[in-house]
Structure 1
């Protein structure tokens, strides 16, 4: 086991063994800027106690050109995850141990499934109806968790997220890292050499009613820059609230804009355009994401099980502008950055008008 000094809170598995409705999901992504392509791996488990209508796991991949492959992994007894660190796996091969396999033995022993940690992502999926497959194996070197790398890492939703009062919980596991290895996308080989990598997770009893997301760590000419922004309407105990945040890691600094320290506003089209602004006493940020691609429908856990309820593209155009405020009321521009390999998403109950709000 490789230690991870950048391990974030909530990196471990959250299920407490109860029989209440529960899901947990993990998201891993690598980008190949020179090809303009991104490949994202999404793993999930629902009602792991078993014997429930939606008990089971799944793995889905958003591939090159917004391609898509999905497989259910129905046997909850073949899923495992560690409670004290980021480590999980699910396979279709009965008899395999419910813990991490030695990386050099994974492909020899597992006929289908995956295993993932803070430093590794391996797997194989094959659609039996079409024969389309994906096989992957890459190592990850984390550069940023969530927060300044010089201090203990932070909960994305603040210290209250240690209590299960938000539905769902959300944690950025690694805002930026570098991946080395390979991905075989149905015979097309993609070799990763210091490829920008990212990971996050969510967990709880329900997804938010509506949500949006912008993410990029492959900006033009800025290899040490990572952006994650998003918002939604989430459940908080017995009421619902609209929240949003922006987090930027740049040259060793962490710029955080969250509801408890900033004003955050957004205007999100049903699809095609994402606009966010946030500011506090010291900094201000402007974000614009756009796409002309139709995107890909993805499955997400809902009260009714895994359903197509979000749309993603990994070929979004993203512009970021970061300003520093001064005592005399003036501002100076710290950073302007652009990318054509940004991740853009809308999800939940579709909205028909531009969603404008402020938190």
Structure 2
């Protein structure tokens, strides 16, 4: 089994390591995401947490390492009374600011296409064991059912939409862009995009990974497939990103309002603060052989902007 096939990687780590899963849930224009995870700093001290983010704000729930259990065979995370898996989540979170309780059940997960060259979104980098950060997409979109009680307000997620991804390694990239959306005007369109400064042995490079699903079709843009990124432009509160790969051209325009604070890993420790907008607007235009495939607008997109990518000025 290659490393990216595993659900859990931190079991053998002793220091400078983190692992986190991102479970996103949408109903209408409301977004609720939960990030269970574990971090191990340079001294070997372990920290277990659940982060919560919505349009209203973000929250951090710390737990004891004794509250943390993972089943690789069931692909299940348990943190105290809270459970997260590819089948759904059960929550019992409570602090002075926020209480979340309830259960959500997932429908069939919509996975990305895989082959021997690209067994995951990491492509051939999936086979390397020394990357600073690894990324996995567990579901580009799936149906939801169930109810959450958010500060005693009942939220019915029937016919909602979910998304799952995960990260693990030692640190988040020093600079990166990330956005994800599966709520477009055309319901069969789904998007994941990330561009980051990737340290590699004695140098660094721009790493791009992007998946666009349109019905049964999947378009992959990636560094390992030869993608080129045009200069990134900031205009009227938007970032405009253009990717060119062979006969494909993808244009993303995302609204860049300031988001809510989340903790992020550096050498394993959750010592960085990044900001994520849990629900912003995005437009997506895809060309093939210079002919328009589709142009759609989306809402409830997640967006993170950290630092400035090397070689760009935006």
Structure-to-structure mapping, 1:61-80, within 5 angstroms: 61-63=52-54, 65-73=55-63, 75-80=64-69
* Aligned partner (choices 193, 210, 213) of residue 246 of structure 1: 210
Pair 1:189 & 2:180 matched: no
* Aligned partner (choices 156, 160, 170) of residue 121 of structure 2: 156
Q: Which moved more, 1:300-309 or 1:188-197?
A: 300-309
SS at the partner of 1:159? helix
RMSD value, Cα: 2.9
Q: Which runs of 5+ in 1 are unaligned?
A: 1-7, 92-109, 326-330
What is the Cα deviation at residue 134 of structure 1?
A: 1.4
Q: Contact 1:88/1:116 (CA < 8 Å) preserved in 2? A: yes
Residue matched to 1:122? 90
Change in 2 beyond 3 A, CA 1:232/1:28: same
Q: Contact 1:268/1:355 (CA < 8 Å) preserved in 2? A: no
Residue matched to 1:141? 107
Residue matched to 1:19? 14
**Runs (4+) of structure 1 moved beyond 6 Å?**
150-153
| Structure number with higher strand proportion | 2
Between the two structures, name the one with larger relative contact order (CA 8 Å, sep ≥ 6).
2
What is the Cα deviation at residue 294 of structure 1?
A: 2.9
Structure-to-structure mapping, 1:28-107, within 5 angstroms: 28-33=23-28, 36-47=29-40, 52=43, 54-63=45-54, 65-73=55-63, 75-84=64-73, 86-91=75-80
Q: Which moved more, 1:242-251 or 1:51-60?
A: 51-60
Change in 2 beyond 3 A, CA 1:304/1:268: farther
Q: Contact 1:267/1:354 (CA < 8 Å) preserved in 2? A: no
Name the CA distance, whole Å, in 2 between partners of 1:341 and 1:199.
15
Q: Which runs of 5+ in 2 are unaligned?
A: none
Pair 1:332 & 2:291 matched: yes
Q: Contact 2:117/2:123 (CA < 8 Å) preserved in 1? A: no
* Aligned partner (choices 179, 197, 222) of residue 258 of structure 1: 222
* Aligned partner (choices 258, 261, 271) of residue 307 of structure 1: 271
What is the Cα deviation at residue 335 of structure 1?
A: 0.9
Which structure has the larger Rg over C-alpha atoms? 1
Name the CA distance, whole Å, in 1 between partners of 2:5 and 2:235.
31
Q: Which moved more, 1:242-251 or 1:80-89?
A: 80-89
Change in 2 beyond 3 A, CA 1:245/1:28: same
Change in 2 beyond 3 A, CA 1:83/1:318: same
Q: TM-score, normalised by structure 2?
A: 0.89
What is the Cα deviation at residue 170 of structure 1?
A: 0.6
Q: TM-score, normalised by structure 1?
A: 0.78
Q: Contact 1:229/1:247 (CA < 8 Å) preserved in 2? A: yes
Name the CA distance, whole Å, in 1 between partners of 2:297 and 2:18.
35
What is the Cα deviation at residue 154 of structure 1?
A: 3.6
Structure-to-structure mapping, 1:275-354, within 5 angstroms: 275-291=240-256, 293-303=257-267, 305-325=269-289, 331-347=290-306, 350-351=307-308
Structure-to-structure mapping, 1:172-183, within 5 angstroms: 172-183=137-148
What is the Cα deviation at residue 247 of structure 1?
A: 0.7
Q: Contact 1:66/1:295 (CA < 8 Å) preserved in 2? A: no
Residue matched to 1:229? 193
Change in 2 beyond 3 A, CA 1:54/1:242: farther
